[in-house]
């Protein structure tokens, strides 16, 4: 192991010399020198970047595909494109990271794609909770997420219960009373059966003994709009999807489904404060890579995401969109995934989705 590192170090030093010599040629203005210079410059960049990530022995050779298991415009998509721009702006990677949306079948297509790309070290994926639910809902998909290489958990997104500001509902108790009175015709908006918000809806129904009509829409933004237009009666949206309407006084959050209050919604009580501490649900925003990639590649991706995680832009974004920035990597992340799979199995079973 030490011998190997030593060889690499020697090799690295030789490359540095090489760069100097080649750069010298460029000065003479020969065309060949220019080409070599460009190539050497790239090599040089790689070498200068090396001390930052001393352990990163692996380097990408071609552009990295960044799979988004959801469509354009949603939360995961926004975050992926933000990561892309941070990586590009801060020069964290010598090759570009190229986002590609694979929203098919609630992420089924993306999951299967990553499974089939086993050993491909130039692909990573941003996940939603459909990482846990979709393989369970589609057993014949042949996907085992335990085989994926866990890279990093970047943040946790939260859910609140929202109603229209004109509804007259001020508290959770009002809400429960109204829903009960509606006798099943209460319209709860969401993004589709088996999606995160449908699980939260089911949790609410069980906890309070309610019955609601769940109406699916494409995307959380459309759900929010339909609440503002009074086509539905309540939603469980992320803060990012509702905050603009909230600030304009059109909608009202009744409860946040987190253990602690949100900085951006300081007046909204948590489910625990209202006496229902088990009503906690997060959407994790994590990065995974294909199965069976080398340790070097895994480390490189982890370092890359750590740099993104520490960037100011990510800090600003998570603060303004109401996400909890909570890092996990490696085995801990794998353990977290396993735990979440179990939790969702129970949830799906209890809601009758499975």
Partner 1 sequence: MELIQPLIDGIFIALEPINLAMVILGVLIGLFVGAMPGLGSVNGVAILLPVTFLVPPTAAIIFLAAIYYGAMYGGAISSVMLGIPGASTAVATTFDGRPMALKGEADRALVAAAVASFVGGTISVILFTLFAPPLAEFALKFGPPEEFALMVLAFATFVGLGGSDISKTIFSTLLGLVLATVGLDIVSGQPRLIFFDLPGFYHGINFLVLAIGIYGIGEILWTLEISQGRVMVSKVEMSIKRMLDAFRSLKVTVKSTLAGSLIGYFMGILPAAGATPGSLVAYGMAKSFSKDPESFGSGNINGVTAPESANNAASTGSLLPMLTLGIPGSPTTAILLGGMIIWGLRPGPLLFENNPEFVWGLIGSLYIANVFAMLINLAFVPVFIAVLKLPFTILAPVIFVLCVTGGYAPEQSMHDVWLILLFGVMGYLLRKLNYPVAPMVLAIVLGPLAERSLRQSLLGSQGDMLIFVERPLSAVFLLLGLALFVYPIVQMARHKKRQGGPAGEG
Partner 2 sequence: MTVRTAELGMTLLLAALSVYLMVKSAELEIGWIQGEGPGGGAWPFWLAAGMLACCAVTLVRWWRGLTPESRNLEAFVGPATAKILGPTVISIAVMLGLTHVIGIYVAILIFLLFYLRFMGRHSWTLTVSMSLIAPVVTFFFFEAALRILLPKGITEPLFYPLYSLIY
Residues lying near partner 2 in the complex (CB under 8 A): 38-39, 42, 61-63, 65, 94-96, 98, 184, 213
Q: Pick between residue 26 and residue 313 the one whose CB is nearest to partner 1.
A: 313
CB of 317 to partner 2, least distance (A): 23
Q: Which long-range contacts (CB under 8 A, 24 or more apart) does 203-209 make?
A: 203/279, 203/281, 203/347, 204/161, 204/236, 204/279, 206/350, 206/351, 207/276, 207/278, 207/279, 208/176, 208/179
| Residue 105 interacts with which of partner 1, partner 2, none, CB < 5 to 8 Å by class | partner 1
CB of 276 to partner 2, least distance (A): 28
- Provide DSSP, 284-315: EEEEEE-TT--HHHHHHHHHHHHHHHHSHHHH
- Binders of partner 1 in range 193-212 (CB under 8 A): 193-195, 198
**For residues 324 and 155, is the Cβ–Cβ distance under 8 A?**
yes
| Residue 306 interacts with which of partner 2, partner 1, none, CB < 5 to 8 Å by class | none
Which two structure tokens, joined as six digits, stand for 90? 């801060």
Going by the DSSP 8-state scheme, the letter that residue 270 receives in this structure is: B
* Residue carrying the six token digits 């319209």: 187
CB of 120 to partner 1, least distance (A): 14
By CB under 8 A, is residue 320 in contact with partner 1?
yes
Q: CA-based Rg of the chain, rounded to a whole angstrom?
A: 24
The SS3 call for residue 121 is: coil
CB of 73 to partner 1, least distance (A): 3
Q: Pick between residue 8 and residue 94 the one whose CB is nearest to partner 2.
A: 94
Burial 323-340 (b: 16+ CB within 10 A, else e): bbbeebbeeebbeebeeb
CB of 274 to partner 2, least distance (A): 30
Q: Give the binding site for partner 1 (CB under 8 A).
A: 71-73, 77-78, 81-82, 84-85, 88-89, 99-100, 102-106, 108-109, 112-113, 137-138, 140-141, 185, 187, 191-195, 198, 213-219, 221-222, 224-226, 228-229, 231-232, 240-241, 243-245, 247-248, 250, 316-317, 320-321, 353
């Amino acid at each position: 192991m030490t011998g190997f590192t030593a060889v690499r170090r020697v090799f690295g030093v030789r490359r540095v010399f090489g760069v100097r010599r080649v750069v010298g040629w460029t000065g003479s203005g020969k065309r060949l020198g220019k080409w070599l210079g460009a190539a050497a410059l790239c090599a040089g960049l790689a070498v200068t970047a090396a001390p930052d990530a001393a352990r990163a022995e692996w380097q990408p050779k071609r552009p990295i595909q960044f799979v988004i298991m959801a469509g354009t415009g949603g939360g995961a998509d926004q975050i992926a494109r933000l990561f892309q721009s941070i990586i590009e702006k801060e020069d964290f990677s010598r090759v570009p990271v190229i986002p590609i949306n694979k929203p098919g079948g609630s992420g089924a297509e993306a999951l299967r794609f990553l499974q089939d790309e086993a050993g491909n070290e130039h692909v990573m994926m941003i996940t939603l909770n459909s990482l846990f639910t979709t393989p369970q809902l589609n057993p014949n998909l042949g996907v085992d997420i335990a085989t994926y290489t866990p890279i990093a958990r970047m943040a946790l997104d939260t859910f609140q219960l929202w109603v229209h500001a004109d509804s007259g509902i001020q508290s959770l108790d009002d809400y429960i009373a109204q829903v009960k009175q509606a006798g099943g015709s209460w319209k709860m908006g969401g993004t589709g059966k088996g999606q995160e918000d449908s699980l939260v809806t089911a949790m609410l129904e069980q906890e309070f003994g309610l019955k609601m009509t769940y109406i699916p829409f494409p995307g959380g933004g459309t759900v929010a709009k339909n609440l503002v237009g009074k086509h539905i009666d309540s939603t469980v949206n992320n803060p990012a999807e509702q905050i603009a309407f909230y600030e304009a006084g059109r909608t009202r959050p009744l409860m946040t489904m987190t253990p602690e209050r949100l900085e951006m919604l300081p007046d909204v009580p948590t489910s625990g404060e209202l006496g229902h501490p088990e009503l906690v649900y997060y959407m994790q925003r994590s990065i995974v890579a294909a199965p069976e990639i080398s340790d070097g590649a895994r480390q490189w991706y982890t370092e890359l995401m750590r740099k993104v995680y520490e960037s100011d832009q990510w800090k600003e974004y998570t603060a303004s969109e109401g996400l909890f920035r909570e890092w996990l990597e490696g085995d801990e992340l794998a353990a977290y995934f396993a735990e979440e799979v179990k939790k969702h199995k129970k949830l799906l079973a209890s809601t009758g989705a499975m």
